[in-house]
Amino acid sequence: MTSQLPTAPKPPTADQIRRAPKVLLHDHLDGGPRPGTLIELAGETGYQGLPETEADKLGHWFREASDSGSLERYLDTFTHTNAVMQTREALVRVAAECAEDLAEDGVVYAEVRYAPELHLAAGLGLEEVVEAVNEGFRLGERRARENGHRIRVGTLLTAMRHAARSLEVAQLANRHRDSGVVGFDIAGAEAGHPPTRHLDAFDYLRHENNHFTIHAGEAFGLPSIWEALQRCGADRLGHGVRIVDDITVAEDGTATLGRLASYVRDKRVPLELCPTSNLQTGAAASYAEHPVDLLRRLRFRVTVNTDNRLMSGTSVSREFERLTEAFGYTLDDIAWFTVNAMKSAFIPFNERLALINDVIKPGYAALKSEWLFTETAPTSGSVSSRG
Ligand SMILES: [Zn+2]
């Protein structure tokens, strides 16, 4: 007999996944507004370009456009969300609703990223954009608490790879590091825009002992991962899924890691994997073929993320539902991914530890104890020894 709770023997229900405390590290603010909010904001700001005027149809349009395999159509979707996110009021609202939606989905800690330079078209300055988004997240956290949910949201300021404002954005992130901005990111099309073009921004952040992640190893393979880590000094990899190109799996299942894959695993470099997004961009053919499970079995520091909830029609819970269907994950596996993500967050160590010990572990323990006391719980004889 052991004093530990038994391992939950079968995949959790969608409701249990939703109630499980979860952590999100890779989510774009302009990839997650509610369709109904976009329609209302378009009305208020006089934006005529939305392709649909009913919320359901608009949500469907975003998913379709992102599924189409056409890069133009995919990028076009962000034109619409950003078009209506140009005023203080719009940014406050979208950020507040983001916090509420994540909290409703059981997310207890999130790092949501956005590019301040994409929200200046109606006259806001970079500082005003950051202040509006911060205000929105604090509002959303308060509303979530009133509804019985506990969530903390930090932000990452993103600079666009093709633009030339990365140092300015890095300095902006550093100025706001004590007021909700927890790090920095580089995003945008990888082709033709290597992160080394932004070395001055990364040098600056390292000089300031600040944190950053880089979108790398999504469309592009190992060279982009190597560059992000060894030339730029990234703390985490946005996606990083192509690290599997440096892993050889023999027919008997034995895996051999190349030097870069070994480095990533040895140094516990967090991988911000986004399964549904990868399926839409063609980085994986199906959930069952997604490298997330190979990387999990090899004990890489894997985390599960949404990327763009609106474009992918997803949530953190839905990502775990799909992975549970594909790989038979239990609550223990979801807890493992969640603790990985919390360990990899950019907030201070003691705050990460407090969330792990006071929120995440008790949350999973409570859910697992339900297996013992509900009708669906198995008899003790069928408890799996899987660990
Ligand atoms: Zn992303």
Look at residue 373 in the predicted model and tell me its pLDDT: 63
* Contact of 96 with 139, CB cutoff 8 Å: yes
Look at residue 9 in the predicted model and tell me its pLDDT: 64
Which of 97, 100, 218, 319 is catalytic? The answer is: 218
Cα(252) to centroid of ligand 1, in Å?
A: 34
| Phi, psi values for residue 217, rounded to 5° | 70, 35
Q: Which residue has the higher pLDDT, 182 or 370?
A: 182
Number of Cβ atoms within 10 Å of the Cβ of 127? 12
30 has binding-site annotation: yes
Instruction: Indicate the range of 159-163, 315-319, 320-324 predicted with least confidence.
Output: 159-163
Mean pLDDT of 110-139: 98
* Statement: residue 140 has pLDDT above 50: yes
Identify the residue whose tokens are 């530890």.
Answer: 353
Q: Which residue has the higher pLDDT, 7 or 166?
A: 166
Cα(148) to centroid of ligand 1, in Å?
A: 29
Confidence bin at 380 (pLDDT 50/70/90): very low
Q: Which residue has the higher pLDDT, 221 or 43?
A: 43
Confidence bin at 291 (pLDDT 50/70/90): very high
Average pLDDT of the chain to the nearest whole number: 92
Residues 227-283: tens digit of each pLDDT: 999 999 999 999 999 999 999 999 998 999 999 999 999 999 999 999 999 898 887
* Contact of 112 with 138, CB cutoff 8 Å: no
Look at residue 374 in the predicted model and tell me its pLDDT: 59
Instruction: Indicate the range of 202-211, 217-226, 324-333 predicted with least confidence.
Output: 217-226
- CA-to-CA distance for 10 and 94, rounded, in angstroms? 37
Cα(250) to centroid of ligand 1, in Å?
A: 31
Cα(254) to centroid of ligand 1, in Å?
A: 31
Mean pLDDT of 354-365: 98
- CA-to-CA distance for 152 and 140, rounded, in angstroms? 10
Look at residue 192 in the predicted model and tell me its pLDDT: 76
Residues 307-320: tens digit of each pLDDT: 999 999 999 999 99
- CA-to-CA distance for 212 and 206, rounded, in angstroms? 9
Cα(55) to centroid of ligand 1, in Å?
A: 24
Mean pLDDT of 218-224: 86
* Statement: residue 81 has pLDDT above 60: yes
Look at residue 70 in the predicted model and tell me its pLDDT: 72
Q: Which residue has the higher pLDDT, 5 or 190?
A: 190
- CA-to-CA distance for 110 and 116, rounded, in angstroms? 18
Residues around ion ligand 1, judged by CB within 5 A, are 307
Report, in angstroms and rounded to the nearest whole number, the Rg of the chain calculated over CA atoms: 21
* Statement: residue 306 has pLDDT above 50: yes
27 has binding-site annotation: no
* Statement: residue 382 has pLDDT above 50: no
Identify the residue whose tokens are 């950020």.
Answer: 95
Q: State what percent of residues in the chain have pLDDT above 90.
A: 82
Cα(40) to centroid of ligand 1, in Å?
A: 26
* Statement: residue 5 has pLDDT above 80: no
* Contact of 96 with 143, CB cutoff 8 Å: yes
128 is catalytic: no
Look at residue 2 in the predicted model and tell me its pLDDT: 40
Cα(332) to centroid of ligand 1, in Å?
A: 26
307 has binding-site annotation: yes
* Statement: residue 52 has pLDDT above 80: yes
193 has binding-site annotation: no
* Contact of 181 with 158, CB cutoff 8 Å: no
Structure tokens at 293: 């499970």
Structure tokens at 67: 């599924």
